[in-house]
């Protein structure tokens, strides 16, 4: 018996230390960002292709910065992670990524090279003039940042400017992504409208602008916004919109698609647009960090995610758009209910007039007023400090009222309870 217990303890210790690491794949992805049923399918597919066993350990994060810190500071041994563009740039600049070796995957199942969109490859190429990010990363999903709004409370005109987040009419009903770079960028674009119109700055210049002056201007603006904020959210905003607790949400297009569809089921009408002043276009891509311990399985996992049927399932589940240029993906999204839009920039000439949801795939005209964010290097700390100052203890006046009400109810319940107890004791 003693021997069995010892063996069990040994096995538990091995598992906690990672067991046979060549049979484990540690994936670190955003929450709500995959159809989880594809994970066991990957394990089986990997076995079929290589004859080897793999067990995926799947973990999630809410914001880029959490993921980055685990790798930069914690040196965690994730095999595959999914950062956004400007974080990929930072990881590349800091030598945190291993080049991808897709030549190691047989041609017949090499879905990465078969399905690359030229648009996405070009965006990756623009990340760093000296290193081609395509050699280190494969885009997973992409989209825009914009305004999701309740069409019965907010007009299209009101939602067409970023300033809707500061509109007193919607105070207490505004949701903001708890993603400092993704909020800083549109607010700065809004504040620099005049300079953009004159041509003295470009959208791209603004994505590199980490000056104290601009940070201070965005901070001042956001402190006014804060008073009307219902919540700073990473994932719950979409649901708050479907329940009509929020009416304006600074959000990503994929969350918007999810919310619009869910809301329609319960008779709530939501819409999404990219404000006229301009915005960001973003993508999240798979990378293999330098502390990875199972590069082979990581490479196969990334490849599997690029298989068109898997990409479509992940899209359907999450609302986000696969960065996959396969015609099969486009065809799966065609729906006669939509007006034709020009997606030639993404799928090639045959897609110059296709009926797909413009929230999923922005029309060429929308893309032309969007720009990619860039890494700020060590200046990022200034932004994070500013974000903490804005959020303070993370509570808006609305939150204070809710907390005060909750404390009041709990206190009343406690007083009533103790009075009852005293009466009972007296009777005894
Ligand atoms: N719930 C997953 C959301 C992931 C969206 N990523 C957007 C990143 C923009 N920088």
Q: Which residues, judged by CB distance below 6 Å to any ligand atom, belong to the binding site of ligand 1?
A: 30-33, 84, 182, 235, 252, 282, 284
Q: What is the pLDDT of residue 402?
A: 46
Q: Is residue 261 scored above 80 in pLDDT?
A: yes
In this prediction, residues 308-324 reach a mean pLDDT of 97
Q: Give yes or no for a contact between 359 and 256, defined as CB atoms under 8 angstroms apart.
A: yes
Q: What is the pLDDT of residue 9?
A: 41
Q: What is the pLDDT of residue 387?
A: 97
Higher pLDDT, 149 or 115: 149
- Give residue 19's pLDDT band: very low, low, confident or very high (50, 70, 90): low
Residue of the CA atom closest to atom 6 of ligand 1: 284
Q: Is residue 404 scored above 60 in pLDDT?
A: no
- Give residue 8's pLDDT band: very low, low, confident or very high (50, 70, 90): very low
- Find the 261 Cα to ligand 1 centroid distance in Å: 18
Q: What is the pLDDT of residue 360?
A: 95
Indicate the range of 42-51, 114-123, 308-317, 397-406 predicted with least confidence. 397-406
β-sheet bridge partners, residue 138: 286
Q: What is the pLDDT of residue 398?
A: 47
Higher pLDDT, 404 or 207: 207
- Find the 95 Cα to ligand 1 centroid distance in Å: 23
Q: Is residue 420 scored above 90 in pLDDT?
A: no
Pocket mutation for ligand 1, best pick of 282, 285, 317, 372 (most atoms within 8 Å of C-beta): 282
| The two structure tokens encoding residue 394 | 């993370």
In this prediction, residues 178-191 reach a mean pLDDT of 97
- Find the 166 Cα to ligand 1 centroid distance in Å: 23
Measured between alpha carbons, how far is 77 from 91 in angstroms, rounded to an integer? 15
- Give residue 129's pLDDT band: very low, low, confident or very high (50, 70, 90): confident
Q: Is residue 395 scored above 70 in pLDDT?
A: no
CA 175 to the chain's CA centroid: 15
Q: Using one digit for the tens of pLDDT, what is the confidence trace for 188-218?
A: 999 999 999 999 999 999 999 999 999 999 9
3's CB contacts (< 8 A; 6+ apart) are none
Q: Using one digit for the tens of pLDDT, what is the confidence trace for 287-303?
A: 999 999 999 999 999 99
Pocket mutation for ligand 1, best pick of 84, 87, 234, 236 (most atoms within 8 Å of C-beta): 84
- Find the 118 Cα to ligand 1 centroid distance in Å: 21
Indicate the range of 12-21, 198-207, 228-237, 368-377 predicted with least confidence. 12-21
Share of the chain above pLDDT 90, in %: 84
Residue of the CA atom closest to atom 4 of ligand 1: 30
In this prediction, residues 156-178 reach a mean pLDDT of 98
Per-chain mean pLDDT for the chain: 90
- Find the 201 Cα to ligand 1 centroid distance in Å: 27
Q: Is residue 334 scored above 60 in pLDDT?
A: yes
Q: Is residue 428 scored above 90 in pLDDT?
A: no
Q: Is residue 427 scored above 80 in pLDDT?
A: no
Q: Is residue 304 scored above 60 in pLDDT?
A: yes
């Amino acid at each position: 018996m003693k021997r069995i217990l010892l063996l069990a303890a040994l096995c538990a210790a091995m598992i906690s230390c990672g067991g046979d690491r060549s049979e484990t794949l540690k994936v670190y992805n955003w929450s709500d960002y995959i159809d989880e049923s594809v994970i066991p399918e990957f394990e089986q597919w990997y076995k079929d292709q290589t004859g080897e066993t793999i067990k995926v350990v799947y973990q999630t994060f809410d914001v880029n910065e959490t993921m980055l810190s685990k790798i930069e500071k914690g040196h965690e041994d994730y095999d595959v992670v999914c950062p956004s563009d400007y974080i990929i740039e930072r990881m590349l600049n800091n030598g945190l990524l291993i080049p991808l070796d897709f030549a190691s995957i047989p041609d017949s199942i090499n879905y990465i090279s078969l399905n690359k969109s030229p648009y996405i490859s070009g965006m990756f190429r623009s990340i760093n003039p000296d290193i081609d990010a395509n050699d280190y990363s494969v885009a997973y999903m992409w989209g825009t940042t914009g305004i999701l709004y309740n069409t019965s409370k907010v007009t299209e005109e009101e939602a067409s400017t970023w300033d809707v987040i500061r509109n007193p009419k919607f105070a207490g009903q505004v949701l903001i992504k708890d993603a400092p770079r993704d909020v800083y960028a549109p607010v700065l674009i809004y504040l620099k409208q005049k300079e953009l119109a004159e041509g003295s700055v470009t959208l791209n210049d603004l994505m590199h602008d980490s000056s104290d002056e601009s940070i201070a201007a965005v901070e001042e603006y956001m402190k006014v916004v804060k008073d009307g904020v219902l919540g700073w959210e990473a994932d719950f905003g979409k649901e708050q919109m479907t329940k009509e607790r929020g009416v304006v949400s600074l959000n990503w297009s994929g969350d918007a698609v999810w919310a619009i569809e869910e809301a329609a089921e319960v008779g709530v009408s939501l819409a999404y647009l990219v404000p006229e002043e301009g915005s960001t276009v973003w993508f999240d891509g798979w990378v293999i960090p330098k502390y990875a311990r199972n590069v082979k399985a990581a490479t196969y996992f990334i490849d599997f995610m690029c298989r068109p049927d898997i990409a479509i399932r992940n899209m359907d589940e999450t609302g986000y758009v696969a960065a996959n240029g396969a015609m099969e993906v486009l065809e799966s999204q065609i729906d006669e209910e939509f007006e034709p839009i020009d997606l030639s920039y993404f799928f090639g000439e045959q897609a110059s007039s296709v009926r797909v949801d413009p929230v999923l795939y922005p029309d060429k005209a929308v893309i032309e007023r969007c720009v990619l964010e860039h890494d700020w290097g060590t200046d990022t700390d200034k932004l994070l400090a500013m974000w903490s100052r804005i959020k303070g203890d993370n509570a808006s006046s609305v939150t204070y009222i809710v907390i005060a009400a909750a404390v009041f109810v709990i206190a009343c319940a406690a007083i009533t309870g103790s009075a009852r107890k005293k009466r009972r004791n007296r009777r005894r």
